[in-house]
Amino acid sequence: MVTDPWYRSVVEAHSTGGRPLRVALVAPPYFDVPPAGYGGVEAVVADLADALVERGHHVTLLGAGRSGTRAEFVRLWDRPVADRIGEAFPELAHAAIARAAIHRLDRSHRFDVVHDHTLAGPLNAASYSAAGLPTVVTVHCSVNDDLRRMYGSLGSDVGLIAISERQRALAPELNWVSTVYNGLRVGGWPYRSRKGDFALFLGRFHPQKAPHLAIEAAHAAQIPLVLAGKCSEPVERTYYAREVAPRLGPDDRVYGVADAAAKRILLSQARCLLFPIVWEEPFGMVMIEAMACGTPVVALRGGAVPEVVVPGVTGLICEDPAQLPAALTQVGELDPAACRTHVATAFSVDRLAAGYVAAYRRAIAGRTSEPSLVLPVSRPRAPYRRLPSGSSTRR
């Protein structure tokens, strides 16, 4: 693999038919980039910003608080407003402030594209379009009826980027321009081949994430469980009180929100990540974080899970919650090295950056006569030994 940043930028510019790009990258206002703890979107934005800069592109990152990336940072909020997640005002205010900042900066930076990662930010697309700036938006959430209506109303002003094929397939009529899987820097995640005896739930305490199913499965399998995650929004607190707390037993440990360091320790030591979702998960960043640590995933089939986990190689996919306890006992047979190799191959920052640069050039080509390149999206196959097909948790 070529690692020299200058050489990679020259090769990439040649292969995609253009020069290095000037990108305005808009992050949500809720967490630092990268986040100190919770913040999957911000983690992806941070890795993308650094990967683009390393490849010779000029990136201006607009967000809140502090930035730990190599991109030029424009602070729109003095501090992140994590305590206001779920409120309408921060979203609308952030979109308005970002729009004014991008138009002001464009006079000197001459942006080629605006890449927005927020909920309300796409509403600025018409304004950017009038200035000759194409807008692409990564859709980090499941597209419900409300979002479907909003994105549909924006038409071709916004090029939507999916983070899984399943997410895209659920709203095929929208203006999708690409599918780019989330990625990470594998070297930033500790690898451990010898695991502890506990299963780990790491995520929001939310009905969609179903930690109550994780508790029931761990109890049935007689395996200790650690639960770590965010529990700050009203729906999370209510759900925790009604469905999680009453089920907790003496072998369960509630960790709370794990910061970046603690999350890596927990993921690397767990026998598996337990991911019992009951919704259309658009990607599931914690799954690749776990596999990067050599930790397999035990999950319920839903959303992008079959695109992320290789059954019998990097995890076990169950069709029903009743199958989870058996999977928890079988998962120890999987090879930790295969889990990490799969992430390094399928979900690297190289693939992340290449996918977004291709999407940018396609969006730019729609505004100008520049040639476009659309990278084919396919799920990489991991050439590893699978468990015997007799397992009830096999796909």
Type of residue found at 364 = I
In DSSP terms, which residues pair with 256 in a beta bridge?
228
User: How would you label 35-74 residue by residue, b for 16+ Cβ within 10 Å and e otherwise?
Assistant: bbbbbbbbbbbbbbbbbbbbbbbbbbbbbbbebebebbbb
Report mean pLDDT in 10-residue bins for the chain, 395 residues: 40 57 97 85 96 98 94 96 91 97 97 97 96 97 94 95 97 96 96 97 96 98 96 94 97 91 96 97 97 98 98 98 98 97 97 97 76 41 44 35
* pLDDT at residue number 179: 97
Q: Would the pTM of this model clear 0.85, i.e. be above it?
A: yes
* pLDDT at residue number 392: 36
78 backbone dihedrals φ, ψ, rounded to 5°: -60, -35
* pLDDT at residue number 366: 82
**Domains of the chain (ranges, CATH numbers):** 5-183+348-365 (3.40.50.2000), 186-342 (3.40.50.2000)
Interatomic CA distance for residues 119 and 210, integer angstroms: 24
Chain centroid to Cα 323, Å, comes to: 27
Cβ atoms < 10 Å from Cβ of 234: 8
